[in-house]
């Protein structure tokens, strides 16, 4: 890499035999330019083939069948080669008309170009020498044939303004986005191709193939020039971070940080999370084997509202070649709003009191409680207006979609109209809201929810007739099952199951909790669903 290009031996031999390199044949088309004599030669060749076949048949048993077959094949191939030459095959290659076609040159302007691994010089130094100064031999050669349009890119694409514009300070490298933006900017121009000069350290989550498909559809070739070593001997880098796009103010976030390395297997590192220079989270981890990603789950707190840029970093280790890739940033919008949650309960029970008490001190959550006390009579708590939920559960999508999430307690499916059941399903599918079914004597199978539109929106399989409830016999007591509940392997690190300051402390606290009771029997979950707790 670093501009040291060597021509493969195969290409040299191919060019010696066929005059042109293989890449020319790949870009060109093979066509035939026969004359009238070519068709006459083909007829003569066909007659020779027939004569050759009869000649070999006439040899009888004087030769082995295999020998006769080989002899016939050799004759036919030789004859076919002669006929092909008579039909005059030609190679048609598109050639650029000087100064009539545009060539886009995209130069990597990210921080990784400061890595000193090209003859002990930074990668950017080599790039500047080849593409930076006006009048450089490479740009001069390209300018003789094309109208060269220079761009620089990192997190975005901008027009190049010469060598001085290359600062190599970009925090991200989005190659696919740069290609797509350049294609759009040069739309309508005779674009001969694009040249991408980069170390290939793409940091975007989008697939590069999407941008290449658009260029392929317009028949625009892309040429790459790699800069720098393919792998570093000793290096740690923050490879990827997984963060939500928006969170509520004061939320405790569980963020996944992927760290890759070479040469530091078993080394202990600390991943720090900063918001505007203030440390909001930190977690220690032990690096796995070389090349294997180490996922570090870090707790961080969103302390200030508005668009925030979180910095994820690993302190440089002894002997590390590159420290610029130890840092990655991610944008998170922290919203200082109050999210409304609708909690509908079909009977008085303690769950409503405990749930409302749990969120009482959260300024960004408002649980609007609707409890059925008798037929068509409801208790409403924490409503904004006297008319809110006056007639019970919302009857229009506009009213229902004003909430962020729905909690269904011990309430049967028959308490809703068919349109209300479809509204709840659309609340999840169309509005993107959250849905929680808490369970109870009138929930799940016991509440007749099987076969409803809501059942399709739940992650568990609700079977018909799996259990009996108060709907079957109002005087009966539903069977209680006592369970010892514990998090699954997925649930150990999930935000919903964290009941202590650290995952380890949370797991220990789950072990100390008393038994719980349930009246609902669930036998299966749907594909793609994750089980967080099991009893």
CA angle 75–76–77, rounded 5-degree value: 95
Edge-to-edge order in the sheet of strand 434-437: 377-381, 365-374, 339-345, 405-408, 434-437
Phi, psi for 469 (deg, rounded to 5): -135, -175
Pick from 2-6, 216-220, 430-434 the range whose average pLDDT is largest: 430-434
pLDDT band with cut points at 50, 70 and 90 for residue 96: low
What's the whole-number mean pLDDT along residues 11-30?
A: 74
Helix axes 65-86, 36-58, angle to 10 degrees: 170
Q: Tell me: pLDDT of 368 over 90.
A: yes
CA distance 129 to 2: 11
Residue 228 has a pLDDT of: 83
* Cβ atoms of residues 294 and 238 within 8 Å: no
Residue 331 has a pLDDT of: 92
CA distance 187 to 193: 12
- Between strands 339-345 and 365-374, the pairing is parallel
Q: Tell me: pLDDT of 205 over 80.
A: no
Residue 309 has a pLDDT of: 93
Which tokens belong to 323? 């420290």
- Total residue count of the chain as it appears in this document: 535
* 436-475 pLDDT tens trace: 999 998 999 989 999 999 999 999 999 886 656 555 665 5
* 125-180 pLDDT tens trace: 888 888 766 667 888 888 888 888 989 998 888 887 666 578 888 878 889 999 99
Phi, psi for 94 (deg, rounded to 5): -75, 130
* Cβ atoms of residues 145 and 96 within 8 Å: yes
* Cβ atoms of residues 324 and 111 within 8 Å: yes
Taking alpha carbons only, the member of 466, 525, 443, 534 closest to residue 497 is 534
Taking alpha carbons only, the member of 331, 258, 244 closest to residue 297 is 258
Burial (0-12, 13-18, 19+ Cβ within 10 Å), 240: middle
pTM for this predicted structure? 0.59
Q: Tell me: pLDDT of 6 over 50.
A: no
Residue 4 has a pLDDT of: 42
Give the DSSP H/E element, type plus range, for residue 195.
strand 191-198
Mean pLDDT rounded to a whole number for the chain: 85
Residue 86 has a pLDDT of: 76
Residues 6+ apart with CB under 8 A from 377: none
Helix (H/G/I), strand (E/B), else coil: 83: helix
What's the whole-number mean pLDDT along residues 108-135?
A: 80
- Chain Cα centroid distance, residue 233: 28
pLDDT band with cut points at 50, 70 and 90 for residue 57: low
Residue 56 has a pLDDT of: 63
N-to-C CA span, the chain: 57
* 405-442 pLDDT tens trace: 999 999 999 999 999 999 999 999 999 999 999 999 89
What's the whole-number mean pLDDT along residues 9-31?
A: 74
- Checking 222-225 for CB contacts under 8 A at 24+ apart, the result is 222/179, 222/193, 222/194, 222/195, 222/196, 223/193, 223/194, 223/195, 223/196, 224/195, 224/196, 224/197, 224/198, 224/200, 225/3, 225/195, 225/196, 225/197, 225/198
pLDDT band with cut points at 50, 70 and 90 for residue 1: very low
Phi, psi for 131 (deg, rounded to 5): -125, -10
CA distance 384 to 224: 60
Give the DSSP H/E element, type plus range, for residue 312.
strand 306-314
15-24, 151-160, 179-188, 498-507, range with the lowest pLDDT = 15-24
* Cβ atoms of residues 2 and 123 within 8 Å: yes
Q: Kindly state the DSSP code that residue 449 receives in the 8-state scheme.
A: -
Which tokens belong to 158? 């901008």
Helix (H/G/I), strand (E/B), else coil: 238: strand
Radius of gyration of the CA atoms of the chain, in A: 35
Helices (H), 192-276: 208-217
* Cβ atoms of residues 108 and 153 within 8 Å: yes
Residue 3 has a pLDDT of: 42
CA distance 19 to 13: 10
CA distance 365 to 120: 56
CA distance 150 to 102: 10
Residues 6+ apart with CB under 8 A from 482: 515, 516, 517
pLDDT band with cut points at 50, 70 and 90 for residue 478: low
Query: Which residues face 254 on adjacent strands?
Result: 299
CA distance 124 to 109: 8
Q: Check residues 401 and 9 and name the one with the higher pLDDT.
A: 401
CA distance 167 to 152: 10
* Cβ atoms of residues 485 and 456 within 8 Å: no
146-150, 174-178, 226-230, 488-492, range with the lowest pLDDT = 226-230
CA distance 71 to 52: 10
244-248, 442-446, 500-504, range with the lowest pLDDT = 500-504
CA distance 298 to 284: 9
Residue 430 has a pLDDT of: 93
- Between strands 516-518 and 481-483, the pairing is antiparallel
Neighbours of 522 (CB within 10 A): 17
Residue 63 has a pLDDT of: 60
């Amino acid at each position: 890499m670093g501009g040291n290009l060597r021509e493969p031996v195969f290409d040299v031999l191919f060019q010696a035999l066929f005059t042109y390199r293989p890449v020319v044949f790949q870009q060109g088309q093979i066509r035939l330019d026969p004359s009238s004599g070519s068709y006459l030669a083909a007829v003569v060749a066909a007659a020779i083939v027939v004569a050759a076949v009869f000649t070999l048949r006439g040899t009888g048993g004087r030769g082995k069948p295999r020998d006769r077959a080989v002899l016939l094949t050799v004759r036919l191939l030789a004859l076919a080669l002669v006929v092909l030459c008579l039909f005059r095959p030609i190679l048609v290659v598109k050639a650029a008309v000087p100064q009539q076609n545009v060539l886009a040159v995209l130069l990597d302007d990210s921080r990784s170009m400061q890595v000193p691994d090209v003859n002990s010089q930074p990668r950017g130094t080599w790039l500047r020498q080849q593409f930076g100064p006006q009048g450089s031999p490479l740009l001069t050669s390209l300018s003789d044939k094309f109208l060269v349009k220079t761009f620089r890119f990192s997190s975005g694409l901008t027009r190049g303004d010469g060598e001085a514009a290359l600062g190599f300070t970009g925090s991200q490298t989005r190659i696919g986005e740069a290609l797509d933006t350049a294609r759009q900017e040069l739309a309508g121009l005779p674009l001969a191709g694009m040249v991408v000069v980069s170390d290939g350290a793409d940091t975007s989550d989008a697939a590069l193939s999407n941008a290449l498909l658009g260029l392929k559809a317009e028949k625009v070739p892309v040429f790459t020039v790699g800069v720098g070593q393919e792998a570093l001997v000793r290096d740690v880098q923050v490879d990827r971070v997984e963060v939500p796009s928006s969170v509520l103010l004061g939320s405790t976030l569980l963020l996944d940080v992927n760290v890759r390395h070479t040469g530091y297997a078993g080394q202990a590192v600390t991943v720090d999370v900063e918001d505007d220079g203030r440390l909001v989270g930190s977690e220690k981890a032990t690096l796995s084997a070389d090349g294997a990603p180490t996922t570090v789950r870090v707790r961080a707190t969103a302390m200030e509202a508005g668009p925030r840029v979180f910095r994820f970093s690993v302190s440089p280790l002894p002997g590390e070649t590159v420290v610029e890739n130890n840092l990655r940033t991610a944008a998170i919008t922290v919203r200082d709003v109050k999210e409304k949650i609708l909690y509908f309960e079909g009977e008085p029970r303690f769950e409503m009191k405990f749930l409302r008490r749990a969120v009482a001190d959260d300024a960004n959550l408002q649980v609007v409680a609707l409890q059925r006390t008798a037929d068509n009579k409801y208790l409403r708590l924490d409503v904004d207006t006297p008319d809110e939920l006056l007639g019970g559960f919302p009857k229009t999508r506009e009213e229902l979609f004003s909430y962020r999430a729905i909690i269904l307690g011990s309430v049967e499916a028959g308490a809703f109209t068919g349109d209300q059941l479809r509204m709840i399903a659309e609340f999840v599918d169309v509005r993107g809201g959250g849905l929680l079914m808490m369970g109870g004597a009138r929930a799940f199978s016991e509440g007749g929810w099987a076969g409803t539109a809501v059942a399709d929106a739940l992650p568990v399989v609700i079977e018909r007739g799996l259990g009996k409830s108060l709907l079957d016999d109002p005087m009966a007591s539903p069977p209680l099952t006592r369970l010892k509940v514990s998090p699954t392997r997925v649930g150990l690190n999930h935000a919903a199951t964290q009941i202590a300051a650290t995952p380890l402390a949370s797991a220990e606290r789950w072990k100390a909790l008393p038994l719980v009771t349930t009246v609902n029997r669930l036998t299966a979950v749907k594909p793609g669903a994750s089980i967080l707790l099991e009893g």
